């Protein structure tokens, strides 16, 4: 089986790429190595698969990729590429979030509706809920994101539904909850806390310290994506 993975050199994407290759699948791994955090880290993430005989590593902006050619013969699109981060999505950087989280998705969906995909899997986020009304948080709760990042992910889910409804594209959106584990992004809490402990530097706390999160281990998330 041939699968496409966008954001393949990222935290979750690199684990997913390895898992797909372990299953004997052919993988087209796409990543533009954006500078939200060090591209060197992403290159290191991809070191286990970029030269794999069943992996074609495409270091290119998705908007510049020949999508019809890439999608030819593919069974599944795993779309993980996005501009991450809640705090950074305010202010002047919002244009980056709309470009990478909305426009890129729309272009992929346009290309995918002409392909014979079995599934288009979209990496959404628990950020679409905002201040959740109840815990555990169920899928049918009203989406009220409280950050521009969350708003772009909510719009992404609506786009996914539109292409399912209008063209029958077999889509699914997965709302990830604070994923942690090896290769976690350096701006995330677990990474920052461990780094502060190892280096003896101060850990900077945001808010009053009473926030709650549901954390999910990266290998469990990869199993869910593949399922």
Indicate which residues carry an active-site annotation: 149
Whole-number Å distance between alpha carbons of 158 and 177: 19
End-to-end C-alpha distance for the chain, whole angstroms: 15
Token reading at 170: 């077999």
Q: Which helix (H) or strand (E) holds 58?
A: strand 55-58
Whole-number Å distance between alpha carbons of 158 and 200: 45
Residues 6+ apart with CB under 8 A from 111: 67, 68, 71
């Amino acid at each position: 089986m041939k699968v496409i993975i966008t954001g393949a050199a990222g935290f979750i994407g690199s684990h997913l790429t390895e898992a797909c290759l372990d299953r004997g699948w052919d993988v087209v791994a796409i990543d533009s190595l954006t500078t939200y955090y060090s591209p060197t880290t992403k290159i290191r993430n991809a070191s286990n698969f970029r030269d794999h005989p069943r992996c074609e590593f495409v270091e290119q902006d998705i908007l510049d990729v020949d999508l019809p050619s890439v999608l030819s013969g593919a069974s599944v699109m795993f779309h993980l590429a996005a501009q991450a981060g809640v705090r950074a999505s305010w202010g002047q950087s919002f244009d980056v979030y709309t470009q990478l989280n909305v426009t890129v998705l729309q272009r992929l969906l346009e290309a995918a509706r002409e392909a014979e995909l079995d599934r288009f899997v979209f990496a959404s986020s628990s950020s679409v809920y905002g201040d959740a009304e109840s815990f555990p948080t169920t899928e049918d709760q009203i989406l009220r994101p409280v950050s521009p990042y969350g708003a772009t992910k909510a719009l992404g889910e609506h786009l996914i539904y539109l292409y399912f409804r209008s063209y029958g594209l077999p889509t699914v959106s997965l709302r990830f909850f604070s994923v942690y584990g090896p290769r976690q992004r350096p701006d995330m809490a677990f990474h920052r806390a461990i780094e502060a402990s190892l280096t003896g530097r101060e850990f900077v706390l945001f808010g009053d310290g009473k926030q709650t999160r549901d954390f999910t281990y990266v290998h469990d998330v990869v199993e869910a994506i593949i399922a």
